[in-house]
Amino acid sequence: AVGKSRKSISDLMDIRPDMARVVRDGNMIEVAPDRVAIGEEVVVKPGERIPLDGVVCDGDAMLDMRALTGESKPKHVASGDEVLSGAVNTTQVLTIKVARAYAESTATKILELVQKAGSRKAKAERFMTIFARYYTPIVVLGALLLTLIPVTFLGGAFAEWINRSLVFLVISCPCALVISVPLTFFGGIGAASRSGILVKGGNYLDALNHLGAVVFDKTGTLTVGNFNVTAIEAQSPYTKDDVLNAALTAEQMSNHPIARSISACAKSHGMMCNSNDISKNNYTELSGRGVKCTIGDDIIYAGNEKLMREIGISYMPSSQFGTLVYVAKNDQYLGCISICDEIKSDAKDAISDLRKRGIEKCVMLTGDSSRVAQHVAQAIGLDEYHANMLPGDKVSMFESIASSAQNGKKTAFVGDGVNDAPVLARADIGIAMGAMGSDAAMGGIGSDAAIEAADIVFMDDDLAKLPKAIDIACRTKQIVMQNIVFAITVKIAFLALGAFAIIGMWSAVFADVGVMVIAVLNATRMIQLPSQ
């Protein structure tokens, strides 16, 4: 049973590559993955695992991503695409330029997450450990007294009462509980792993059973995160090209989806920005407001209305729908860029499924405008939303929502960005999404900070994994409770019968080993739970 439970996790975790085929001085040599440097090129043949995170520089192929995301659908990659260590190349030879060292690779990080999971025990597991610590000496003392008192004070036959004591002692052995309860949680973690859900400990799996409210980030969580520029407004005497060019200059050092959408739009207009004109020294990301950069004697700002008010720029509020990026140079307002994001196709169904599982409140926190937040909230059926929020505001608002929970209910936060890390760490259950997406692997929106701060990690950005995780948690609890009730009921009944010599040693063996075997077999139903 333990072997099967371990295998259910190791099947997902069997992604550590043993070898990397690296090109050095025109020759192809095989070395350990931890001896490959960033910038070197590795060759991956069909049937082999990708050893390190990187970018395809030659070839195109289909990748089996099941070990990373739990999804069976292959992913096509070609030159310029980012790839993750642990994925299996199924078709053509790929040449990949390494972007991350082995210690920082996706495969290594996943393994570290799983290795730590066993140290975080659920309440029931902790109870059984404490229970056994006190229960065992008590029943040993009870068995001893069961012999000494009748023999010493009542004139009982020693052989008869020592036999009763041994029967009592065998029956009272708590192995059915001590073995089956941790095994069930281990099986639950394994079942979640097969579905692309990494649970960092049994305590977090147990906490999902008490979930009363779920708080969501918007961008990349409830929405796709693929932004497109839909409109550009220019303030006279400036032109739309002036606005777009200034925004491109300001955003070029940012890896945010909004910045990438501006870059894509500028590129489609034939604009290119010289990255040598700007460095980290004259670029500042203003959390929750926008960006500021200095080019020569000019200071360019690109951000939301908060930023415009903060720097004292007189701007014209836009009536366009979507995320609005206001652009200013020095003390002059240039114009506004409207950017729209797409709501995830499964978001509404996921919220509906959460309702069916007893989640009382679904809330969205976003740094976006009220108009955009209202549109998303109404489209997918959220209970409430809070817009124009800085990362610190999200923590405060989450604490307010969590404090209003009734009857000890837990509150979860679901997010994916570096700005979500503080609230993920604060949440009763922090859930990071899209951990193994390309952005996550290369340090983008699905950041290491979010994954590190979270308690549960979804390997992809599928919202349906949240109801699935709750189902696995409920099934785990059901089996744990079945084993506890069954084992304690049988033992109490047999202890009473044994003390009065109604049953003998063979019945005692059944009450100990037999009950343990039945409880373990019941626990293996959790291990065998299908991934889909």
Q: Which residues are catalytic?
A: 217
In sequence order, what DSSP letters do the residues of 247-279 get, joined into one string? Answer: HHHHHTT--SHHHHHHHHHHHHTT----GGG--
CA atoms within 13 A of residue 97's CA, in its CB half-sphere: 11
**H or E element at residue 401:** helix 391-403
Instruction: For residue 181, give both structure tokens.
Output: 């309860």
Closest CA to 396 of 365, 373, 369: 365
The C-alpha atoms of residue 525 and residue 398 are separated, in whole angstroms, by: 37
The C-alpha atoms of residue 190 and residue 118 are separated, in whole angstroms, by: 11
Position 167: which residue type?
V
The C-alpha atoms of residue 403 and residue 424 are separated, in whole angstroms, by: 16
Q: Which residue shows structure tokens 């606005």?
A: 243
Closest CA to 434 of 421, 417, 422, 419: 417
Q: Which residue shows structure tokens 């195109």?
A: 60
Q: How do 54-58 and 82-83 pair as beta strands?
A: antiparallel
Q: How do 429-432 and 456-458 pair as beta strands?
A: parallel
The C-alpha atoms of residue 412 and residue 429 are separated, in whole angstroms, by: 5
Pair 59, 66: CB distance under 8 Å: no
